[in-house]
Amino acid sequence: MRSLVAGNWKMNGLAASLAELESLKAALAAAAPACEVLVCPPFTLLAQAAAVCGVALGGQDCSPRDGGAFTGDISAAMLKDAGASSVIVGHSERRQIHGERDSDVAAKAQAAWRAGLSAIICVGETEAQRDAGNAHGICSGQLDASVPDGATPQNTIIAYEPVWAIGTGKTPTLDDIKAMHAHIRSCLVTRLGEGARGIRLLYGGSVKPDNAADILNLPEVNGALVGGASLKASDFLGIIGAIKPA
Ligand code: PEP
């Protein structure tokens, strides 16, 4: 399976930020990466990014609905039309700030599939849940309820993002990441069958150029979802470069 390094720009980026994509494109053209690369800019930059971009593009969220009177919402088909091939759903910032439940996340993933996008479905525990010894149980519960039946390696990517590691500079130990990814793989295979061994499992949460090699070469870690360090092409390239050729 080819690893994926995905950048989530969150609510950052104006037209001037497309220069970072230009730099990324030039560097990747000069030295082919050992992984797939995806950038998820804000909705407003997607179409312009598609005009620049030598990398795949994704959205950061989508409506669970296909269209209609839902002011301010963006459908998966709109993302596809603007140049996206995938969309992040269930990011912890959406779960926490916008109150999204597992059922909302599952509906968004299904909307993504209907539009022909792959869904990057995020799961992860809070610090209190980890401290209470519930990290694995929380993530399996989220997987059960947020990953719809019908998930395949073509339409679904899972991102394990411990909430307490996002934007904090803190990361789980390598053993904890390894154990969680093995747990997620086992949950997916039990529920979806052997085909689920091909679903990519990304780690996300304070991945930086200096910790990327240790994290990204762990077993069952098939890439990264990167927030802050995806905003500068030089940092993002440092993470991409940490993936060893298969
Ligand atoms: C994220 O928001 O998905 C993320 C992983 O952020 P950061 O890399 O900044 O921790």
> Counting atoms of ligand 1 from 1, which one is nearest the CA of 159?
3
Question: 82 pLDDT exceeds 80?
Answer: yes
* pLDDT given for residue 245 in this prediction: 79
| 166-199 per-residue burial string, b: 16 or more CB within 10 A, e: under 16 | beeeebbeeeebbebbebbbebbeeebeeebeeb
Catalytic-role residue among 100, 125, 161, 220: 161
Question: 246 pLDDT exceeds 80?
Answer: no
Catalytic site includes residue 100: no
Residue 153 carries which DSSP code? T
**Which residues on adjacent β-strands are paired with residue 59?**
87
* pLDDT given for residue 109 in this prediction: 98
Alpha helices by DSSP H, listed for the chain, are 18-30, 43-52, 76-82, 92-97, 102-114, 127-131, 135-146, 174-192, 209-216, 233-240
**37-50 tens-digit pLDDT:** 999 999 999 999 99
Catalytic-role residue among 91, 136, 181, 183: 91
Whether the CB of 129 sits within 6 Å of ligand 1: no
pLDDT category, 54, cuts 50, 70, 90?
confident
Residue 152 carries which DSSP code? -
* pLDDT given for residue 214 in this prediction: 98
Whether the CB of 226 sits within 6 Å of ligand 1: yes
68 CA distance to ligand 1 centroid (A)? Answer: 32
Angstrom distance (rounded) from CA 46 to CA 58? 8
110 CA distance to ligand 1 centroid (A)? Answer: 24
Catalogue the long-range contacts made by 128-134 (C-beta closer than 8 Å, 24 or more residues apart). 130/162, 130/164, 130/172
Average pLDDT of the segment spanning 4-8: 98
pTM: 0.97
Whether the CB of 8 sits within 6 Å of ligand 1: yes
Whether the CB of 7 sits within 6 Å of ligand 1: no
Whether the CB of 159 sits within 6 Å of ligand 1: no
> Counting atoms of ligand 1 from 1, which one is nearest the CA of 224?
5
126 CA distance to ligand 1 centroid (A)? Answer: 14
* pLDDT given for residue 244 in this prediction: 82
8 Å CB contact between 160 and 174: no
8 Å CB contact between 134 and 173: no
pLDDT category, 121, cuts 50, 70, 90?
very high
Angstrom distance (rounded) from CA 9 to CA 232? 10
Question: 113 pLDDT exceeds 80?
Answer: yes
Question: 135 pLDDT exceeds 90?
Answer: yes
Whether the CB of 63 sits within 6 Å of ligand 1: no
The pLDDT mean for the chain works out to: 97
**149-204 tens-digit pLDDT:** 999 999 999 999 999 999 999 999 999 999 999 999 999 999 999 999 999 999 99
8 Å CB contact between 80 and 115: yes
Catalytic site includes residue 98: no
Q: Which domains, from first to last, does the chain contain?
A: 4-240 (3.20.20.70)
